[in-house]
Amino acid sequence: MITGKICGTGSYVPPHVMDNDDMAKLVDTNDEWIRERTGIARRHVAKEETTSYMAGQAALRAVEQSGIAPEEIDMILVATSSSETIYPCAACEVQRMIGAVNAAGYDLNAACTGFVLGFNAAQAYISAGMCRTVLVVGAESMSHMIDWTDRSTCILFGDGAGAVLLRAEEDGAPVWTAAHSDGKKGPALTGLSRHRRDWNLEEEDKEAYIHMDGQAVFKFAVRKVPEIIEEILEKSGVSADEIDYFILHQANRRIIEAVAKRLKTDISRFPMNLEEYANTSAATVPILLDEMNRKGMFHEGQKLIVAGFGAGLTWAGCLFEW
Ligand code: ACO
The three-class DSSP label of residue 73 is coil
Question: Which residues, judged by CB distance below 6 Å to any ligand atom, belong to the binding site of ligand 1?
Answer: 29, 33-34, 37-38, 111-112, 151-152, 155, 189, 212, 214-215, 217-218, 251-252, 279, 281, 310-311
Nearest by Cα to 131 from 110, 105, 161: 105
CA–centroid distance, 157 to ligand 1, in Å, is 12
The answer to whether 313 and 186 have CB atoms below 8 angstroms apart is yes
Testing ligand 1's pocket by substitution, the residue of 150, 215, 272 carrying the most ligand atoms inside 8 A of its CB is 215
Task: Per-residue pLDDT tens, the chain, 322 aa: give them.
Answer: 999 999 999 999 999 999 999 999 999 999 999 999 999 999 999 999 999 999 999 999 999 999 999 999 999 999 999 998 889 999 999 999 999 999 999 999 999 999 999 999 999 999 999 999 999 999 999 999 999 999 999 999 999 999 999 999 999 999 999 999 999 999 999 887 554 444 455 554 666 789 999 999 999 999 999 999 999 999 999 999 999 999 999 999 999 999 999 999 999 999 999 999 999 999 999 999 999 999 999 999 999 999 999 999 999 999 999 9
CA distance 85 to 142: 14
CA distance 310 to 317: 12
Testing ligand 1's pocket by substitution, the residue of 192, 217, 272 carrying the most ligand atoms inside 8 A of its CB is 217
CA distance 233 to 32: 37
pTM, full prediction: 0.95
β-strands 75-79, 133-141: how paired?
A: parallel
Active site residues: 112, 249, 279
Taking CA atoms only, the protein residue closest to ligand 1 atom 31 is 37
CA–centroid distance, 220 to ligand 1, in Å, is 14
